[in-house]
Amino acid sequence: MNPIKFFLIVTAISLIMPVAYPQETAIETVIQTGHYAAVQSVAFSPDGMFAATGSADKTIKLWEVENGREIRSYLGNIGAVWVLAFSPDGKLIASVDGSYNLSLWEVETSKKINSIEVPEDDILSVAFSPDGKYLVTGTENNHAIAWDLMTGTEVRKFNPEITDIPMEMNFEYPTAKSVQFSPDGKILLTGSNDHTGFLFDFNTGKQIRKFKYGESSCATCAITASFSSDGRRIVFGHFDSVFICDSETARVLLTMKGERGSYETATFSKDGKYISALKYGTGYLWDAQNGKLITTIGEDSDDLIDIRFSPDNDYILSGGKNKMSKLWKIPSGRHVMTLRGYLNDIDAAILDDSYMYWVAFMNEIKLSPDGKYLAIGKTGNNARLMDFNTGKLVRISALTGNIWPPEVRMEQPEYGKLSRVKWCVHFLKAHQIYPISQLISVPMGTGLWLAAGTDWSGSGI
């Protein structure tokens, strides 16, 4: 065949035949919002690549540590997020919020996949077992409870001897302010009332050892306790000191040198060289071998609430009342990065106003007290006032003063009615998400439910 004719035939066939392109990858847009209220809890992923922050703004944020980029938000918390912990494989985050119940989140999707509630009790702390099969919660009244991570069912309780442990009135067992597994997963350590710590055999639930220092008879003086990476030492954050004990003998090995005060969240670095703790909003870093104070962490404006070591022992992650998280270099204590977003610059006076609080996030809505209007807001801009029944634009209002029409009475509606919606709000049906821009056009009477991250009353629409 003539080479020219062959070339033309092949070219024609290639133009007619469909071309197989690689499957398109969904592009995800994440706005760097940060937190607009105090950061109450922080945690590193096991590989140190990511940091999680929990805030009083009722959100959890996931950040890339290398560049400080916000990549995920976890919505649906009730109140401030007090506790955060990653699973050993880094695929799950456990959190405890203002409801004092536990939530489990998929890191990759930000979906809430399970929750744990202890009837008539509050969850205060959480720890994953090293093998990732179990979860232990420290509670206010039942001390500690182990759960099967796959099924969410209770496995066993850890009830300490209470002969000389004072408790709150009507409490059956003392509080477990902190819980942690030994590196091999065989022992459970709890920090409890009256400056006391306990060791339990995880498989049987039986108490092995008690660490009690002082006879203050203080039912509310719960302490934190943490294993060293080899399990041979335990550091206690005492109400007036930080000290290291031998895990086998309970003998005090070392007391940290520093000012006396209320120390909390005492932990070892992963390599066992350092100890950190908080006192009155300032972080402290000690040499774990000699107890010498190396440096303090945080500035006057930070007012720290939580601090954690990175897995590679190079950094400390902090969260504080200034609405931001920061990375600090070890051992110098030098500030190297701030995890923040545009919400960190919002005037706090706006958020403190009971009728302006809802505008904290872009494209969020609030229902007027009489249920006739929806206001769709954007921080630092105007609010669109919509007729709730028709979806028609009524007017555009500036975000100052009363945004509702004069005829709207300002008393709060009855509890249980839809009164306020915040965060990223969606209508959900069969796992389908309707963007906020389509809220008004969603058919009424279709059994859709209004879902919001916080402060919402579910109502069939």
With H, G, I as helix, E, B as strand and everything else as coil, classify residue 381: coil
- Global pTM reads 0.72
- CATH number for the segment(s) 39-344: 2.130.10.10
User: How many Å apart are CA 322 and CA 290, to the nearest integer?
Assistant: 33
What pLDDT score does 315 carry? 97
For the sheet with 242-246, list strands across it: 224-227, 233-237, 242-246, 252-255
One digit per residue, pLDDT tens: the chain, 461 residues? 554 444 334 333 333 344 443 445 455 566 788 998 899 999 999 999 999 999 998 899 999 999 999 999 998 888 899 999 999 999 999 999 999 999 999 999 999 999 999 998 999 999 999 999 999 999 988 999 999 998 889 999 999 887 766 666 556 678 899 999 999 999 999 998 777 899 999 999 999 999 887 666 666 677 889 999 999 999 998 767 888 999 999 999 998 876 666 788 899 999 999 999 998 899 999 999 999 999 999 877 678 999 999 999 999 999 999 899 999 999 999 999 999 987 777 655 555 554 444 444 444 556 677 778 777 654 444 667 778 777 788 877 654 455 566 666 544 433 322 233 332 333 322 223 333 333 333 333 333 233 333 333 232 22
What pLDDT score does 195 carry? 78
Q: What would you report as the CA-atom Rg of the chain, rounded to the nearest whole angstrom?
A: 26
User: How many Å apart are CA 233 and CA 246, to the nearest integer?
Assistant: 5
User: How many Å apart are CA 277 and CA 434, to the nearest integer?
Assistant: 45
User: How many Å apart are CA 173 and CA 200, to the nearest integer?
Assistant: 15
Long-range contacts of 399-406 (CB under 8 A, 24+ apart): 399/350, 399/356, 399/359, 402/355, 403/355, 403/375, 404/368, 404/369, 404/373, 404/375, 405/373
Which H/E stretch holds residue 6? helix 3-16
What pLDDT score does 133 carry? 96
120 Cβ neighbours under 8 A, 6+ residues apart: 141
What pLDDT score does 120 carry? 87
**Token pair recorded at residue 112:** 């809430």
For the sheet with 123-128, list strands across it: 123-128, 134-139, 144-148, 154-158
User: Among residues 430, 436, 432, which one has the least CA distance to residue 452?
Assistant: 436
**Token pair recorded at residue 288:** 């774990």
User: How many Å apart are CA 212 and CA 251, to the nearest integer?
Assistant: 11
What pLDDT score does 388 carry? 75
**Token pair recorded at residue 216:** 């203050």
